[in-house]
């Protein structure tokens, strides 16, 4: 198979390198773990064989993540929300309206959030050796501790690239030394040791377990017998409404290494079944924002009807300017409050802060609440319990405060947004306790 031509598409202000190869009946977007180089992978025999087998079955789309390979270098590690925009940009550039998304390792969290947020773009989701959380927690005992991860990251950066060879040998001990070197070469020429370390420090913060019930596309979770622990994969599948787990023989978390025949066999059967189902999504993962003017009743009485209408007009114009700037969708305006939705929580937070600052110039104070959850779709509008939670979070915010749920805080890891903990709270009409956080620096 001839090496495909590398093309570029813009995602924000970053150029993303991608390739399209094969002419199968379905598009498949391949997102490998860690990093790759879309041209050098064709020189490495194991990766090439793996990609050729995918391209025999599908119209294969693959790309270099921002900051790696042939894509633009960027400062720091991009958060999930930004990388999700890159996926959409690549699919658009490749002319793909819907695709099977196949992700490995740390890319699994990205694929899960994308499938929940944009189910209309995903025929089916396949994951290999993926987890929803990276570090140990009392309710997630299968993962290494945060300190263990940080030591591993520091050691990997310090001993680069010998550390990469050690990782490959641990995953595929039968691989001859020259083939280990060839596999490592692609990674070494794709990313610097510092960027690799930054990326993994961001991964340490990732926890998308809140998202799993919102992933309603058919999902296949594949892994070999050792990595990650089967219990972690079982916990992943248990929280998803349309997912199944298949444990394959062998060891190792890198799909192209080892026996790939079982992977292809399971993928073929799964896609044949999932591709026959064409269901319009009835819900999506969305971030809702509620804003409310503080002291509006007293202020309207003080100013009188005519002056108050002028203030509201300027208020509405300021809010709508910021919604347009941050890609928010306005759903309702109830007097002096707004209800909007976003396809990313960091954008919603930054929009809320921009609204607060813009209204401060009008000598108006606003409170805002942000929550991310599964929303029902009704004629382009979003509804459901996640919307109610967002409204309750906003109601608990102080004047000038942007308050968010823990789900939001977990999803914006790596975005540079800082929070102050506000403790656990009961939200009226919503079961359970909810941990809330105030935005300290967006």
Query: What are the pLDDT digits (tens) for 389-434?
Result: 999 999 999 999 999 999 999 999 888 899 999 998 888 888 888 9
Provide the 8-state DSSP code for 434: E
Residue 68 pLDDT: 96
Using alpha carbons, select from 367, 203, 371 the residue that is nearest to residue 294: 367
For the cut 90, the answer to whether the pLDDT of residue 296 exceeds it is no
pLDDT in tens, 318-353: 999 999 999 999 999 877 899 999 999 999 999 999
pLDDT at 428 (0 to 100):
83
List b or e across 279-303, with b for residues whose CB sees 16 or more CB atoms inside 10 angstroms.
Answer: eeeebbbbbbbbbbbbebeebbeee
Closest CA to 21 of 46, 39, 34: 39
Confidence check: pLDDT of 52 > 90: yes
Answer whether 335's CB lies under 8 Å from 276's CB. no
Over residues 370-379, the pLDDT tens digits come to: 999 999 988 8
DSSP 271: H
Peptide bond into 302 cis (omega under 30): no
Residue carrying structure tokens 């939705």 = 341
Concatenating the DSSP letter of every residue in 114-171 gives HHHH-GGGEEEEEEES--SB-S-BTTBTTSPPHHHHHHHHHHHHHTTTHHHHHHHHHH
Specify whether the CB–CB gap between 110 and 88 falls below 8 A. no
The residues with which 426 forms a beta bridge, in sequence order, are 433
Sequence-distant (≥ 6) Cβ neighbours of residue 272 within 8 angstroms: none
269 SS3 class: helix
Residue 162: what are its φ and ψ, rounded to 5°?
A: -60, -35
- 0.85 exceeded by pTM: yes
Q: Compute the residue count for the chain.
A: 442
Is the preceding omega at residue 228 within 30 degrees of 0, hence cis?
Answer: yes
Residue 167: how many CB atoms within 10 A of its CB? 18
Task: Read off the pLDDT of residues 272-291 as tens digits, 9 standing for 90 and up.
Answer: 998 767 667 889 999 999 99
Question: pLDDT tens digits, residue range 146-199?
Answer: 999 999 999 999 999 999 999 999 888 889 999 999 999 999 999 999 999 999
Encode 91-123: b = buried (16+ Cβ within 10 Å), e = exposed.
bebbebebbbbbbbbbbbbbbbbbbbbbbebbb
Secondary structure of residue 282 in the 3-state scheme: coil
Nearest residue to 264 via CA among 275, 255, 277, 273: 255
Q: What domains does the chain contain, in order, with CATH numbers? A: 7-275 (3.40.50.1820), 283-441 (3.30.70.1230)
Percentage above 90 pLDDT, the chain: 79
pLDDT recorded at residue 257? 92
CA angle 59, 271, 45 (to 5 degrees): 50
Token digits of residue 64 = 């270099």
Task: Name the average pLDDT for the chain.
Answer: 93
* 257 phi/psi in degrees, rounded to 5: -95, 140
Which strands sit side by side in the sheet containing 122-128, from one edge to the other? 7-11, 14-21, 59-63, 27-31, 99-104, 122-128, 219-224, 243-248
């Amino acid at each position: 198979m001839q090496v495909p031509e590398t093309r570029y598409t813009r995602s924000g202000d970053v150029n993303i390198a991608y390739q399209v190869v094969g002419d199968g009946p379905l598009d498949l977007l391949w997102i490998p773990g860690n990093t790759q180089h879309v041209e050098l992978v064709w020189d490495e025999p194991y990766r090439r064989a793996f990609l050729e087998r995918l391209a025999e079955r599908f119209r294969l789309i693959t790309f270099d993540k921002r900051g790696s390979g042939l894509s633009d270098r960027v400062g720091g590690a991009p958060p999930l929300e930004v990388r999700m925009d890159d996926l959409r940009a690549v699919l658009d550039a490749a002319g793909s309206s819907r695709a099977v998304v196949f992700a490995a390792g740390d890319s699994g969290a990205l694929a899960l959030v994308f499938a929940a947020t944009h189910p209309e773009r995903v025929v089916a989701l396949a994951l290999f050796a993926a987890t929803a959380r990276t570090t140990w927690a009392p309710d997630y005992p299968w993962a290494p501790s945060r300190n263990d991860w940080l030591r591993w990251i520091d050691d990997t950066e310090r001993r680069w690239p010998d550390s990469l060879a050690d990782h490959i040998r641990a995953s595929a001990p039968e691989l001859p030394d020259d083939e280990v070197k060839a596999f490592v070469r692609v990674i070494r020429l794709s990313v610097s040791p510092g960027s690799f370390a930054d990326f993994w420090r961001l991964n340490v913060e990732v926890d998308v377990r809140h998202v799993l019930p919102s992933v309603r596309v058919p999902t296949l979770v594949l892994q070999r017998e050792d990595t990650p622990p089967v219990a972690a994969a079982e916990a992943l599948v248990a929280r998803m409404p349309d997912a199944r787990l298949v444990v394959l023989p062998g060891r190792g978390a890198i799909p192209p290494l080892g026996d790939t025949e079982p992977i292809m066999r399971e993928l073929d059967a799964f896609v044949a079944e999932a591709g026959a189902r064409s269901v319009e999504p009835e819900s999506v993962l969305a971030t809702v924002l509620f804003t409310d003017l503080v002291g509006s009743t007293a202020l309207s009485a003080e100013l009188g009807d005519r002056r108050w209408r002028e203030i509201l007009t300027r208020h509405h114009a300021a809010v709508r300017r910021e919604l347009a700037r941050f890609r928010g969708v306005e759903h309702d305006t109830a007097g002096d409050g707004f209800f909007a939705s976003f396809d990313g929580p960091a954008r919603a937070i930054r929009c809320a802060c921009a609204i607060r600052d813009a209204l401060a110039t009008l000598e108006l104070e606003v409170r805002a609440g942000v929550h991310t959850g599964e929303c029902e779709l009704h004629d382009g509008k979003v509804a459901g319990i996640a919307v109610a939670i967002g409204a309750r979070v906003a109601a608990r915010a102080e004047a000038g405060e942007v308050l968010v749920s823990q789900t939001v805080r977990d999803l914006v890891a790596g975005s540079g947004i800082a929070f102050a903990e506000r403790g656990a709270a009961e939200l009226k009409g919503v079961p359970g306790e909810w941990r809330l956080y105030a935005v300290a620096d967006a």
